[in-house]
Amino acid sequence: MNEKTGFGIVHGPTDITTIQPFFITLNLPYSVKRGEIVAIPIQIHNYLNVTVDTEISLINAKEEFYFMESTIFNKDVGSEDNRRSKNLTLGANSVGTVVFLINPRQVGEISLQVTATNPLSSDGIIEKFRVELEGIRIDVNHAVFASVVPNEPIEMTIPLNISGDKVPHSEFITLTVVADNMAPVLLNLNDLLSLPTGCGEQNMANFAPNVLVLQYLRSMGQYNKERDLVAKARRYIEVGFQQQLTYRHRNGGYSVFGQRKDREASTWLTAYTMRFFIKSLRYTMAMESHIIESGLDYLAKAQGEDGSFPYTGYLIYPAQQNRFGFTAFVLMAFLEDQKFARNYSTTIDKGLAFLNDHLDQINDVYALSIMAVTQQMAKQKSNSKKILDKLLQQKQTDNSTIWWSQNDRNRAKDVEITGYVLLALVEDGDYEEACKKAFKWLNQQRNKKGGFKSSQDTVVGLQALIKYSMKYKIIGDIDILVSYTAMDGEMQEVGSGEIAVDENNVKVLQTEELPQTTRAVEIQVTGLGASLIQLTYEYYIMGVETFQYFRIEPKVELPNPGEMSLDVCFSYIEPNATATNMVVMEINLPSGFSVNEEDSDFLLDNEIVQRIEMKNSATNIVVYSEKLQPNVRNCLNIMAYKMYDVVHRKPASIIIYDYYDFYRYDTAFYDIYNETPQDGGGTGPGVRGL
C-alpha cells in the first residue's frame, strides 16, 4: 500500500528476498556415544558492512556436559563450568567458526545453547544433540493379558533377565497398563516393527495393519469417533499402495525387490498383496480395480493342471508352507471378496479339489493352519472342522496357554501358525476355551509397540488378535487396580505404585518408569475387567562370544585423515545348512563419519546386494541380500568420510541376521584408535569380532 496512491495490484507474484545480517548456525553430527569427546563447530555469519569483535558463548545451564580443552584427552577429567566463551573478529560480509570440545554427561538429548554478541548485533540459538549408549541394544517385552473378577485377584512375578555383561547404567525399564488390547497398535500404526522394511514383502507389513485397524474400529463402533486416527490410517494405506506398485512386474505379479532386480514375480507375494489390496478397497479411492484384476490374472495363469500353485520368485520362508499350505495361501486372495470369487470360480474350485483330495494325508502343522482358514473362507465348514480337530491334537501347552509350532526354534513362525489357527477357531465358534488360551499366548509374544518380531507374524498375529477382540468384545465393564512392587537382585524393594484403569482411560497407555536396579516386578491385579500389562526393558551389551551363524570380518584402513575404507567380509556358516532366507546387514559407522549416498550406489554392482538403505543421516547402512549360500565368503567395501572430530571413539557395530528367523544373527565390532582433533586423522585402526 502506498500513502499517496493507495492499494495496488500486480499482474503476477513477486519474490521478496530478506537476509538476517548477523546469525549463528550449528552443524552437528547425527549422534555421538556416551564417553566420546566431540568438537562442536559454531559458525557465525556476519553480513554487516563492518568488522565486528564478537564473543561466542556455549552455555551449559543444565550441566549436561563437560567442557574439554584440546590438550586434555582423559575423558574422566573436564570442566563443570556452566559457560565457556571465545572471541572472534569477523570481517564485513564474512563467516567465521569457533570450536568447543565437550564430553556429554548423560544419554538422550542434551541442549546446546549458543549466544553471539557484539556492539552492533547479537543472536542466540538452542539445538538438541543426541547422545547414545555404546554397544548393541537388547529389547525385551513381557506382555500379559489379565482378566480379573471381584474377590479373585491375579498375582504374578515377572523376572528381568538382564545380561551380566551389560553396558553399565544402560537399563531402561517401564511398566505399562491399558484396557484396549489394540491401543499399542493404534499409537504405532506405521512403526510396528523394529526391523527394516525396505522390500515388497516388508512394505506390506506396514500396509496391512492399517487396513486391519480400520476394520477393528468399524466393528467396535469407533470408526466415526476416531476421525484423526482413521484419516492417518487411510493416508498410510494410500502411501503404502503407491510404494507397493514399485515392486510390480508388467505381468501383474509382484516380487521382493521389483522387476529391476528380480527376473520373475513371486506368486506368494502377489497373492499376499492382492488379498490386502482387496481388503483396502472400502477405505481408499486410490486403489484401481485393474491393478487387482491383473494380479489375480497372473495367479490364475500360474495354476497347475492339478489345481496347485507353483512357487515362483525367491523368498525361502513362505516356501516352507509346502505345496498344500502354499496353494491354500494363494486361494485366500481369490476368496477375499465375493465379486472376485465369482469371476475366478474355476480357479478356486480346482484349488480346493487339490487340497481336499489330499486332506487325509496332510499332517504339517503350518500347512494345516492355513488350510483351516481357506476352507472357512470357501464355506467348507466340515473340512475346516476336520482340520481344526487335527490341529488341536498337535497343540503345545503350558496349561494356561496353547500354541502351535514346527519345533524349529523360529518363534516368528510359531506366532504366524498360531495366528492362523486362532483365526479359524474364532470363525468356527465352537472352541471358546481354546481361543482364549491361544489369544493369551499370542499377547505374550508381542513387542512393546503392539506388533511382533518380523513381518508375516505381525500381520497374521494382529489379524487373529483383532478377530478375537471383535468376536468376544473383550472391552466391557472395567474398574481395575494394578499394584506393583519393583525388586532388585536381592529381592529388596526399590519402588512401588498403583495404576488404575476404568472407562475413562480405556485407550490410554499408562506407563511408569522403574528404577534401573529392578530385577523382578511383583504385580497384583484386582477389580473387574481385562487389561494388557507390559513390562518392557532394554539394555546394551558390547559383545557376543562367538560367531554361530554368520562370520563377520571387518577391516578398517585410513587412507588419509578425512577418509575411512571399511571392508566387510561375511559368510553363512551354520553347519549342514542350505541357503538362508533374506539376510539383512546393518553397518553402523563410527561417530563423526558418514557415507556419500551416491558412492553407496556402487554396492548394488555386487550381485549379493539387492537393496541399500541409508539411515540416521547416512551413518547407518542397511544392506539386503536375497539369500546367502553356506560357506561362501562375500565382501563389500564402504568409503566413509570424517565430517566431525571425535575423540575416544567407541567401537561401531555390524549385525547380520536372517529377517524371517531372527534367532539366527551375529555381531562384530570394529574400532578406530588414537584419533585426535588436532591432526584430524587417526592412527592404528583396529577390529575385533565378537
Q: Give the pLDDT confidence score for residue 108 in this predicted structure.
A: 93
- Whether 570 shows a pLDDT value over 60: the answer reads yes
Q: Give the pLDDT confidence score for residue 164 in this predicted structure.
A: 82
- Whether 487 shows a pLDDT value over 60: the answer reads yes
Q: Give the pLDDT confidence score for residue 175 in this predicted structure.
A: 98
Task: For 301-353, write each residue's pLDDT tens digit.
Answer: 999 999 999 998 876 555 456 899 999 999 999 999 999 999 999 999 999 99
Q: How far apart are CA 446 and CA 434, in angstroms?
A: 19
* DSSP structure string for 361-403: G---HHHHHHHHHHHHHTT-HHHHHHHHHHHHTT-EE-SS-EE
How many residues are present in the chain?
690
Burial 286-303 (b: 16+ CB within 10 A, else e): ebeeebbebbbbbbbebb
- Asked if 658 and 581 count as a contact pair (C-beta separation under 8 A), the reply is yes
Task: For 349-405, write each residue's pLDDT tens digit.
Answer: 999 999 999 999 999 999 999 999 999 999 999 999 999 999 999 999 998 999 999
User: Across all residues in the chain, what is the average pLDDT?
Assistant: 89
C-alpha cell at 335: 476368496
Task: For 139-157, write each residue's pLDDT tens digit.
Answer: 999 999 999 999 999 999 9
Which domains, ranges and CATH numbers included, belong to the chain? Answer: 22-132 (2.60.40.10), 181-472 (1.50.10.20), 550-670 (2.60.40.690)
C-alpha cell at 238: 494410500
Question: How far is CA 298 from each of CA 200, 201, 242, 266, rounded to the nearest angstrom?
Answer: 17, 18, 20, 10
pLDDT band at 2 (very low <50, low <70, confident <90, very high): low
Q: Give the pLDDT confidence score for residue 643 in this predicted structure.
A: 94
pLDDT band at 12 (very low <50, low <70, confident <90, very high): low
Burial class (CB in 10 A: 0-12, 13-18, 19+), 685: buried
Q: What is the mean pLDDT of residues 556-580?
A: 90
Q: What is the mean pLDDT of residues 605-626?
A: 91
* DSSP β-ladder status, 172-178 and 510-514: antiparallel
Task: For 512-530, write each residue's pLDDT tens digit.
Answer: 999 999 999 999 999 999 9
pLDDT band at 548 (very low <50, low <70, confident <90, very high): confident
Q: Give the pLDDT confidence score for residue 690 in this predicted structure.
A: 33
Q: Give the pLDDT confidence score for residue 455 in this predicted structure.
A: 83
Q: Give the pLDDT confidence score for residue 70 in this predicted structure.
A: 52
- Whether 25 shows a pLDDT value over 90: the answer reads yes
Q: How many CB atoms lie within 10 A of CB 496?
A: 14
Task: For 216-274, write each residue's pLDDT tens digit.
Answer: 998 888 888 889 999 999 999 999 999 999 999 999 999 988 888 888 999 999 999 99
Q: pTM for this structure?
A: 0.84
Q: How far apart are CA 49 and CA 466, in angstroms?
A: 67
Q: Give the pLDDT confidence score for residue 280 in this predicted structure.
A: 93
- Whether 686 shows a pLDDT value over 50: the answer reads no
Task: For 110-135, write each residue's pLDDT tens digit.
Answer: 999 999 999 999 999 999 999 999 99
Of 434, 359, 430, give the one whose Cα is nearest residue 393. 434
pLDDT band at 3 (very low <50, low <70, confident <90, very high): low
Phi, psi of 339 (to 5 degrees): -60, -50
Decide which of 135 and 600 is more confident: 135
Q: How far apart are CA 673 and CA 36, in angstroms?
A: 12
Residue 684, SS3 per DSSP: coil
Of 86-90, 190-194, 504-508, the least confident: 190-194
Q: Give the pLDDT confidence score for residue 680 in this predicted structure.
A: 34
- Whether 682 shows a pLDDT value over 50: the answer reads no
Question: How far is CA 129 from each of CA 107, 113, 619, 677, rounded to the nearest angstrom?
Answer: 10, 11, 15, 19
